[in-house]
Amino acid sequence: QVQLVESGGGLVSPGGSLRLSCAASGFIFGTSAMAWYRQAPGKRRTLVASMTANGAADYVDSVKGRFTVSRDDVNNRLYLQMNNLRPEDTGVYYCKLPTAPNYWGQGTQVTVSA
């Protein structure tokens, strides 16, 4: 079955960088669109970035120019490079397979604080 395991989160100062990783299994990763979501404290999950199977990326306005999504179809991994982090980027980040709407991994915590 679908399994998504996120890693790479942590505590970082404003302006810092983190690279999130998602290990995917249980489905054909190379032909699947993927996405990253974020759940800020006390708020619902929202879409941050997405990538089609062909590698076309899209971002919410608040992260454009700072975040970059990428994928490794050989190793079935999705990445999110986050630069110039801001306190409002704080939250739990989830890798998402859009065709499995009811499945969520455990997420990885990102905290941006001085």
Kindly report, residue by residue over 52-96, the tens digit of the pLDDT.
999 999 999 999 999 999 999 999 999 999 999 999 999 999 999
Residue 16 tokens read as 């810092």
b/e map 9-47, b = 16+ CB within 10 Å: beebeeeeebebbbbbeebebeebebbbbbbeeeeebee
At residue 1, the pLDDT reads 92
Kindly report, residue by residue over 36-54, the tens digit of the pLDDT.
999 999 999 999 999 999 9
